[in-house]
């Protein structure tokens, strides 16, 4: 799922291209993409784009007349931009988009078309249309914007419920803009156990994590901006070669060289360095540990001396 650094880069790229331009037309090419019926979509046509903002993990386009389009890409949704002159999009839906095809497109004054695609067969991406700032604010989940918060606010939010710190960081009701990928990077930067209970976090733990959240998100936003230059983002992925632990199972930790470990659950996974983050403890991965049972290594030393483990 695109997270804070990715969404901010989308927002920056869209501001450069559509701010101050009129919407000439748009199409919604899947019946489940548009989640609202009021205000009607035709009301936005020929209205100028007055703002482009990030609301948590949503991209919100503001139009004249206090009209808003809130775009949530979910896990596999992606945006693309096509330069050049284009006719206004035909607003009549002729057939649902094919798997992996375009779910939405919009043509803007001065040339250029914005499109939304979603890979896979599940349709989770969503667009909500809203009239008035209160209506668009109501779509927020309430997560704390850490770059705008104080340390006491952050600590209070973490301790408001007792979860693992990994879950707390990725809960949109608690912290805004962080998902599976960047939570791994944040916890590695903080040298923190992903499974530490937030109710047991010390003041120092909260301070280290607070600094890590701000540092990791802002540095990755800048890195992605540098990579795209002035182009529209085209490689929005949760897996970057420069990441420390996320998606790097079995590869050496850049800090200490220990093989990165993971725990997979549902559609997510937690990647961590057992030497830097868990005091040498290797946690059981549901799939592999069930297979190996008693042979599953429990410490870094057992892991590194186990000839049967392959990365």
192-240 pLDDT, tens per residue?
999 999 999 999 999 999 999 999 999 999 999 999 999 999 989 989 9
Whether residue 295 is predicted with pLDDT greater than 80 in this model: the reply is: no
Q: What percent of the chain has a predicted confidence (pLDDT) above 70?
A: 86
8-49 pLDDT, tens per residue?
999 999 999 999 999 999 999 988 899 998 999 999 999 999
User: Hey, which residues does 281 pair with through a beta bridge?
Assistant: 299
Strands 113-118 and 102-108, bridge-based pairing: antiparallel
pLDDT score, position 94: 42
Angle between helix 180-189 and 203-228 (nearest 10): 120
Whether residue 286 is predicted with pLDDT greater than 70 in this model: the reply is: no
pLDDT score, position 305: 52
Domain range annotation of the chain: 4-137, 144-242, 244-311
| Burial of 107 from C-beta contacts in 10 A (0-12 / 13-18 / 19+) | buried
Mean pLDDT score, 44-62: 97
Mean pLDDT score, 78-98: 65
Whether residue 244 is predicted with pLDDT greater than 70 in this model: the reply is: yes
Per the prediction, the chain carries an average pLDDT of 88
Whether residue 250 is predicted with pLDDT greater than 50 in this model: the reply is: yes
Angle between helix 203-228 and 4-18 (nearest 10): 40
Model confidence at 59, in pLDDT bands (50, 70, 90)? very high
pLDDT score, position 122: 76
Please name the CATH architecture into which domain 144-242 falls: Orthogonal Bundle (1.10)
pLDDT score, position 112: 94
3-state secondary structure of 122: coil
Please name the CATH architecture into which domain 4-137 falls: Alpha-Beta Barrel (3.20)
> Comparing 50 with 101, which gets the higher pLDDT?
50
Quote the DSSP letter at residue 295.
Answer: G
Quote the DSSP letter at residue 165.
Answer: H
pTM, to two decimals: 0.88
Whether residue 258 is predicted with pLDDT greater than 60 in this model: the reply is: yes
> Comparing 286 with 170, which gets the higher pLDDT?
170
CA 180/CA 164 separation, integer angstroms: 13
Please work out, in degrees rounded to the nearest 5, the angle formed at the alpha carbon of residue 157 by the alpha carbons of 155 and 163: 95
């Amino acid at each position: 799922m695109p997270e804070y650094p990715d969404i901010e880069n989308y927002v920056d790229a869209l501001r450069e291209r559509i701010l101050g331009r009129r919407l000439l037309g748009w199409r919604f090419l899947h019946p489940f993409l548009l989640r609202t019926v009021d205000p009607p979509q035709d009301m936005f046509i020929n209205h100028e784009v007055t703002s482009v903002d990030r609301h948590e993990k949503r991209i919100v386009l503001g139009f004249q007349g206090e009209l808003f389009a809130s775009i949530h890409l979910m896990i596999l949704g992606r945006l693309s931009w096509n330069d050049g002159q284009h006719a206004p999009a035909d607003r009549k839906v002729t057939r649902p988009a094919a798997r992996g095809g375009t779910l939405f497109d919009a043509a803007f004054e001065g040339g250029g078309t914005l499109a939304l695609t979603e890979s896979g067969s599940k349709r989770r991406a969503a667009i909500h249309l809203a009239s008035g700032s209160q209506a668009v604010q109501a779509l927020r989940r309430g997560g704390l914007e850490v770059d705008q918060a104080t340390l006491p606010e952050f600590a209070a939010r973490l301790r408001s419920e007792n979860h693992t710190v990994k879950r707390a960081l990725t809960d949109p009701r608690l912290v805004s803009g962080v998902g599976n990928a960047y939570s791994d990077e944040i916890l590695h930067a903080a040298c923190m156990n992903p499974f530490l209970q937030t109710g047991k976090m010390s003041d120092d733990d909260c301070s280290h994590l607070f600094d890590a959240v701000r540092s990791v998100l802002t540095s990755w936003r800048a890195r992605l901006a540098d990579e795209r230059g002035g182009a529209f983002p085209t490689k929005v992925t949760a897996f970057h070669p420069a990441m420390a632990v996320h998606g790097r199972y079995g590869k050496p930790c850049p800090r200490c060289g220990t093989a990165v470990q993971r725990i997979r659950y549902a559609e997510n996974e937690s990647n961590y360095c057992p030497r830097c983050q868990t005091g040498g403890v290797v946690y059981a991965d549901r799939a592999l540990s069930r297979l190996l049972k008693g042979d599953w290594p429990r410490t870094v030393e057992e892991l590194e001396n186990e000839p049967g483990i392959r990365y």
